[in-house]
Structure 1
Amino acid sequence: MLKISGGWLRILLLAGLFLSFFLWVSDFNPYVQQVLMYLGVNIILTVSLNLINGYMGEFSVGHAGFMAIGAYVAAWLTVKVMPPSLITWLYPVVIILGGVAAALAGLVLAFPSFKTRGDYLAIVTLAFNMIVKNALENIEAVGGPRGFLGIPNLTNLPWVYFWTVLAVLGVRNFVYSNFGRGILAIREDETAAELTGVNTRQVKVLAFVISSFLAGVAGALFAHILMFINPGSFTILKSTDILVMVYLGGIGSIAGSILGASIYTILLELLRPLQIWRWVVGPLLLILLLIFRPRGIMGLREYLGFIPKEEGGINYGREKGSTTLAG
C-alpha cells in the first residue's frame, strides 16, 4: 500500500479530528452533531460504492443490502452477545465484525455477479438488496418487521470521523496500488486488461469485497447512531440515495464522493420541512444527473492532494485533455 502523501493532508485530517472531538465535548448543538455523523456515514457509503460504479465501471444498485448486514450484525453483537461492562471497549471490534459480515456476503455475491455485466449486474444486486430486506423481516431474533430495539448509543462524532478517514484513505491507497490499476484497466477495456496480464476475476472480487466491507462498517455506525433499525431503513430507496451521492459528486473520484455526500446530506436536511416529499428528490435528481451530467461534478477527475507523489500528478482514467484539480 502507498503511504499518505502531502503534509497539508495530514494536518487537515488531524485538525478535523481535533475539531470533531471539540464539538463533541463542548456540548455543541446535538442536532448538528448528528447531521455531521450521518454525513460521515454517507461519505463511507459513497466512497465504497464509487469503487465499483466509478473506478471499476460496473453498475451495482444494491449497496443498502450490505449496509443492512453490517448494521444488524453489529447491533445483534452489542445487544445480545457483548457483556455490558465491555461493550465500550469492544465497540471497535463490533464495527469491524459488521464489516466482515458484509464482506463475506459480498464475496458470496461476487462470484455469480461478475459473470454478468451492465444491466444484468444491476438486476443481480437489486435482487440481493430485496432478499436481504425480506429475510430480515422474517427473522424474529432481530425483531422482524418491527425492527431492532435497545441498541446502545456508542457512536460519537470523533469515532465517525475516525472511521470516515480510514475509509477514504483506504480506498485512495487501494486505487493507486497495483490492484487499483487493474480496476482502472477493467473500466477502460476488460479484454485488453486480460491480455496485458490483469487477473480480472481476482481484481473484481477483491474490489467488491472491500466495497462491501466498508458498506458494512457504515451500517454498523448507522445502527449505533440511530439506536434503532428496521428492514425499511435498507430498501432500494436507500440504495438510490447512495447512487445519487456517487453520481452527483462524480464517478471515479474520491474528492467527488466527499462532495456528493456532503451536498446531498445537507440538501435532505434543508428539505426536511417537506416531510415525505423530500424523498422524491433523490430519484428525481438521479434521473436528471444520468441525463445531463452522467459523470457528476468531478467525474474522472481528482483533487491533487489525493494523488500520490509517486504518480507525478497523473490521474488515471481521465479523458484526454482534461486536467487534475490542484489544491
Structure 2
Amino acid sequence: MKNIKQSLLIAAWFVFLTFPLMVVKVNTLKHLVEWRWLNMLWVALGAFFLSFVWRWAMERKQLRSRADEESGGDDGTGLGHRLLHDPKLFRPALGGLAAAALLFPWVLDVYQVNIMVLALIFVVLGLGLNITVGLAGLLDLGYVAFFAVGAYSYALINQYYGLGFWACLPVGGIIGAFLGVVLGFPILRLRGDYLAIVTLGFGSIAKIVIENWEDFTNGAKGVANIPRPGLFGMEMNIGAATIYTYYLMLLMVLFTIFVTNRLKDSRIGRAWMALREDEIACVAMGVDMARTKLSAYAFGAFWAGAVGVIFAARNTYINPNSFTFMESAIVLSIVVLGGMGSIVGVIIAALVLILMPEYLRAFADYRMLVFGAVMVLMMIFRPQGLIANVRKTYVHRKPAAEESNG
C-alpha cells in the first residue's frame, strides 16, 4: 500500500512537470490553444507503472541481499551456473548451439551472415579485453588502438609487400602484443582514474597518427581494395567469401575461447586474478607485478590485433573513422555487462550489444537512450554481469586410510 501511495504522488508530480509540454499546444497559425488531455492520462499511467515496478524491484534486490548475507553470500548455484556445469544440460545445449552455428549461413541471407561476422569479431575483442580488464583488473579505454593496428598492418603490408591474409594474421597479433607491452611499461604503477586517462590518450594518439601519417597510412582517405581471406587460390564471389569468413570467425572464436580458458586456469591466470583482487597483497606474496601486468596487456592486445586483420579483410576498406573511442566503449561495455572474467557472459553480451541495434533499426533514434538505460539497470540490479564468474573452490580430502583410522 505504501508503494502505491508513493507511486501516485510521483505520477502526480510528473503530470505537473510535463503539463506545459504534453497537454498544452499553441497553434500559431490559427491562434488557438489545443488541450491534449489524453496525453496527461498516458503520462500519469506511465509514471505510476514505472515507479511501482522500480520500487518493487528495489525491494526484491534488498531482500536478496539480506538472504545472501544470512547464508554467507551467493554460492553461484543459479540456473546459469547449473546450465554451464551440469553435463545433462550443458551437452545438449552445446550440441544445439553448434548445429545452429553451422547451419546459420545456409538458412539466412548474406546480409545476416555479414552482420553475424561483425558480431563474432566483437566477441573476440570482448574476450581479449576480458583478459586485461576482467581477469587482471586493468582498465583499458584505448583498446581500439590495438584493433586498428592489426587492421592497418594487414592493409599496409599487403599493399607495400604483397603478403597475403594468412601470412599477416599472426603478424597483426604480434604487432598488437608488442604495442600492448609498449603501452604497459609507462603505466605499471598507475591505477584507477590515472590508468583510464592514459589508456584513453593512447587510443586517441593511435587514431591521430593514422590520420596524419598520410605518406604511409594514406591518412583520412583510408586503404581500399584489401584482399579478402583466400582458400588455396580459389576465386569466390561476395556471398561465398562472406560465408567463408563466417566459418573462419567461428574457428577464431573457438580458438580464442580455448586459449583464454587455459590462460584463466594457468599460473599466470591466477596471478592476474590475484592482481585484480589486491595488488599489494599479490606483490607481497612474491608475484612479479611488472611481468604480470605486461603479460595481461600483451595477451589482450594480441587478440585485438589478430581480429583486426580479419576485420580489414571483411570490409576490404578501412579508414581512421572505423576505430573511434565508441568502439572501445562498446567492447568495455561487453566485458562489464557479460561479467568480469566470465567467458560465456562476454560472448552473450557481445552478441546482444552488436546484433540488437541491427535488428532494431526502426528505433535507431533511441538506441543510445536504450543502451544507457540498460547499462544503468544492469549496474543497479546485477553489477556482477549477466553471468557471474564463480570462483573455483578447492577442497582437501583426507586419504581413505586416514579416514578409516579416524
- The TM-score normalised by the length of structure 2 is 0.66
CA contact (8 A) 1:247 1:289 kept: no
Q: Which runs of 5+ in 1 are unaligned?
A: 314-327
Count of residues paired in the alignment = 295
The aligned counterpart of 2:221 is 146
CA contact (8 A) 2:357 2:364 kept: no
Tell me how large the CA RMSD over aligned residues is.
2.9
2:347 partner amino acid: I
**Alpha-carbon deviations, 1:172-193, whole Å to 9, x = none?**
1001000111011111111111
CA contact (8 A) 1:253 1:300 kept: yes
Alignment of 1:294 with 2:374, yes or no, is: no
- The TM-score normalised by the length of structure 1 is 0.80
SS of residue matched to 2:351? helix
Give the distance between the partners of 1:148 and 1:13, measured in 2 at CA.
Answer: 40
Alignment of 1:65 with 2:167, yes or no, is: no
Matches within 5 A, 1:78-227: 78-82=158-162, 87=164, 91-140=165-214, 141-154=216-229, 156-227=245-316
**Alpha-carbon deviations, 1:92-132, whole Å to 9, x = none?**
22111111111111110001122201111111110000000
**Alpha-carbon deviations, 1:53-74, whole Å to 9, x = none?**
1111221111111100001101
- 1:219–1:272 Cα change, 3 Å: farther
Relative contact order, higher structure (CA 8 A, sep 6+):
1
Give structure 1 regions of 4+ aligned residues with deviation exceeding 3 angstroms.
5-24, 273-294
Give the distance between the partners of 2:269 and 2:345, measured in 1 at CA.
Answer: 18
**Alpha-carbon deviations, 1:274-322, whole Å to 9, x = none?**
44763565556445544554331123338xxxx8xxx779xxxxxxxxx
Give the distance between the partners of 2:368 and 2:310, measured in 1 at CA.
Answer: 22
Identity in percent? 31
CA contact (8 A) 2:169 2:306 kept: yes
Give the distance between the partners of 2:128 and 2:306, measured in 1 at CA.
Answer: 10
Give the distance between the partners of 2:158 and 2:94, measured in 1 at CA.
Answer: 29
Q: Which of 306, 315, 329 does residue 240 from structure 1 map onto?
A: 329
2:124 partner amino acid: I
Give the distance between the partners of 1:214 and 1:10, measured in 2 at CA.
Answer: 28
Matches within 5 A, 1:282-321: 282=371, 285-286=374-375, 288-290=377-379, 292-301=381-390
- 1:61–1:281 Cα change, 3 Å: farther
1:123 partner amino acid: I
Question: How far 1:158 sits from its partner (Å)?
Answer: 1.1
Give the distance between the partners of 1:6 and 1:156, measured in 2 at CA.
Answer: 33
Structure label with greater radius of gyration: 2
CA contact (8 A) 1:52 1:211 kept: yes
SS of residue matched to 1:61? coil
